[in-house]
């Protein structure tokens, strides 16, 4: 804030280090350009690539080009599925323990569970349930704790179910080492034949539906020891080759993103309303990577009950009495995923007083100034400075009302209009306070000469101090 050269150098060094770090994964990429919806035709995969990385991203039309997006290694996944809030659910190989991974942040946690080892997982987008398979049986997985509930056997004809996936309407499918595609009853586990895949399957593969077009994508490690991506028809089972995976890796987790959670936020005008004044609320700054927010709900009295629900992001409200009001917005997307945001609004808020800037002292080439912010409501405050040389600070704080604040700046010779502004914790801003600053030529020599004279005439020095002329005379 006070030394622009140091700040600029720090920024340049920081950018250099970031670019240097990014080059480490130049072979497979590590640019964190993660997809936002299945319409972008991407998939998240796990496999044994030449560069150590836990989660990769590929294009569905180009499986041979993998980009590392999550280097940290939470464990070896056995199948995976994406939930309606954009989380990857996978099971630990051999134990059945359930993990949750956020592919956008790479945060992960162990949900729990464990029991039988699982081959694959599937999320039902309609009923919001998770299913899992072993070679012969179907299970239901409870997301809150990872526990397993046995449903039933697939029945005769199924030769080791490799993995499962749900399509856009929640129908469950599976594929086995008999190289067939099956539909599965989610209530009984009973499997019904759809048709042959036309692929000689081996172990270590997963698959998922593209929720926008209901095409099943199968990551297949074949008996010829080739790791290939196929598109499969859910009505017939027949598959078409897309391409080979990078490094011929055996893909143990394959899932296609289809929904990301919304993020709620809102603003309002006026920022400092009076009692009885209409306040305009705008939630259009809420975001959703899939652009599918369908509902905005408002809780005006902080009782946990939403008083207003609508499909539009803007609305109005009036508070008749002064006070603090905690307002909560909830947004919901088309897959019933929700997010909330709360702001405290002060009705009847008075802005801080216009600050008075005073010259304090000079140390070397740095000039110090004081101000004492006053907020008539006793709110905490923030302060920013405009040094009139192109340097304007960010809001600094919070400070207590009545607390003296000192700030310094390096000035070159010239005349400046130093300004400062105060903002309270609810956003009410004061007028700008100003102080005329004169930095003379040969400042040091003039200071020494004038101070030497004033030391011989202490009465004059005392009068100049009482009149506040030190800054005007360019001395300290």
**What is the per-residue pLDDT across 284-332, written as a single tens digit (0 to 9) for each?**
999 988 788 999 999 999 999 999 999 999 999 999 998 999 999 999 9
Q: Where are the domains of the chain?
A: 1-26, 31-255, 267-347, 358-473
pLDDT of residue 462: 74
Q: Which CATH number fits domain 31-255: 1.20.1300.10, 1.10.3720.10, 2.170.190.11, 2.120.10.30?
A: 2.120.10.30
Q: Is residue 471 helix, strand or coil? A: helix
pLDDT of residue 385: 97
Could you give phi then psi for residue 427, rounded to 5 degrees?
A: 95, 0
Number of residues written out for the chain: 476
Whole-number Cα distances in Å, 140 to 207, 360, 422? 18, 71, 58
Roughly how many angstroms between the first and final C-alpha of the chain, as a whole number? 23
Question: Which fold, 267-347?
Answer: Immunoglobulin-like (2.60.40)
The answer to whether the beta carbons of residues 46 and 81 sit under 8 Å apart is no
Low-confidence stretches of the chain (pLDDT beneath 70) = 1-40, 49-51, 73-76, 204, 441-452, 454, 461, 465, 468-476
The answer to whether the beta carbons of residues 194 and 236 sit under 8 Å apart is yes
Separation between Cα atoms, residue 407 and residue 398, nearest integer Å: 15
Both tokens of residue 103?
């592919």
**What is the per-residue pLDDT across 444-475, written as a single tens digit (0 to 9) for each?**
455 555 666 767 777 776 777 677 665 555 55
The answer to whether the beta carbons of residues 384 and 392 sit under 8 Å apart is yes
The yes-or-no answer to whether 31-255 and 358-473 have a common fold is no
Whole-number Cα distances in Å, 217 to 75, 207, 241? 24, 5, 10
pLDDT of residue 456: 73
Q: Which CATH number fits domain 358-473: 2.40.50.100, 3.10.129.10, 3.40.50.880, 2.60.40.10?
A: 2.60.40.10
């Amino acid at each position: 804030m006070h030394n622009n050269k140091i700040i600029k150098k720090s920024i340049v060094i920081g950018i250099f280090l970031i670019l240097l770090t990014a080059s480490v994964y130049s072979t497979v990429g590590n640019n964190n350009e993660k997809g936002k919806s299945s319409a972008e035709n991407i998939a998240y995969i796990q496999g044994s690539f030449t560069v150590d990385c836990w989660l990769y991203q590929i294009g569905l039309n180009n499986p041979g080009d993998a980009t590392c997006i999550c280097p940290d290694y939470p464990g070896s996944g056995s199948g995976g599925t994406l939930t309606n809030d954009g989380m990857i659910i996978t099971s630990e190989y051999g134990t059945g323990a359930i993990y949750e991974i956020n592919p956008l942040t790479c945060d992960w946690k162990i949900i729990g569970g464990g029991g039988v080892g699982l081959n694959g997982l599937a999320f039902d987008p309609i009923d919001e349930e998770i299913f899992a398979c072993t070679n012969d049986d179907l299970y239901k997985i409870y997301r809150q704790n990872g526990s397993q509930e046995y449903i039933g056997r697939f029945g005769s004809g199924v030769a080791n179910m490799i993995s499962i996936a749900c399509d856009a309407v929640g129908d469950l499918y599976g594929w086995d080492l008999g190289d067939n595609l099956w539909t599965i009853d989610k209530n009984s586990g009973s499997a019904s034949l759809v048709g042959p895949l036309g692929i000689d399957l081996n172990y270590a593969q997963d698959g998922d539906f593209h929720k926008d077009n209901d095409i099943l994508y199968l990551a297949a490690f074949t008996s010829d020891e080739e790791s290939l991506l196929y598109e499969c028809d859910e009505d017939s089972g027949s598959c078409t080759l897309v391409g080979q995976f990078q490094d011929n890796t055996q893909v143990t987790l394959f899932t296609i993103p289809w929904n990301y959670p919304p993020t709620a936020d809102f603003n309002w005008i006026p920022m400092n309303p009076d009692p009885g004044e209409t306040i305009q609320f705008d939630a259009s700054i809420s975001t959703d990577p899939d652009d599918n927010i369908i509902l905005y709900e408002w809780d005006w009295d902080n009782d946990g009950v939403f008083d207003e629900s609508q499909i539009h992001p803007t609305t109005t409200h009036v508070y008749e009495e002064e006070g603090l009001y905690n307002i909560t917005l909830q947004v919901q997307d088309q897959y019933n995923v929700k997010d909330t945001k709360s702001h405290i609004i002060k009705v009847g808020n008075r802005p801080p007083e216009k600050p008075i800037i005073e010259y304090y002292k000079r140390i070397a080439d740095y000039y110090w100034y004081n101000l004492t912010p006053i907020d008539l409501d006793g709110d905490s405050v923030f302060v920013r400075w405009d040094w009139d040389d192109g340097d304007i600070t960010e809001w600094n704080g919070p400070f207590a009302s009545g607390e003296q604040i000192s700030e310094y700046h390096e000035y070159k010779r010239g005349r400046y209009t130093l300004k400062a502004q105060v903002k309270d914790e609810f956003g009410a801003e004061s007028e700008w306070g100003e102080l005329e600053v004169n930095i003379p030529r040969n400042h040091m020599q003039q200071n020494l000469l004038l101070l030497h004279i004033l030391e011989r005439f202490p009465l004059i020095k005392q009068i100049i101090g009482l009149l506040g002329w030190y800054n005007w005379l360019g001395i300290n």
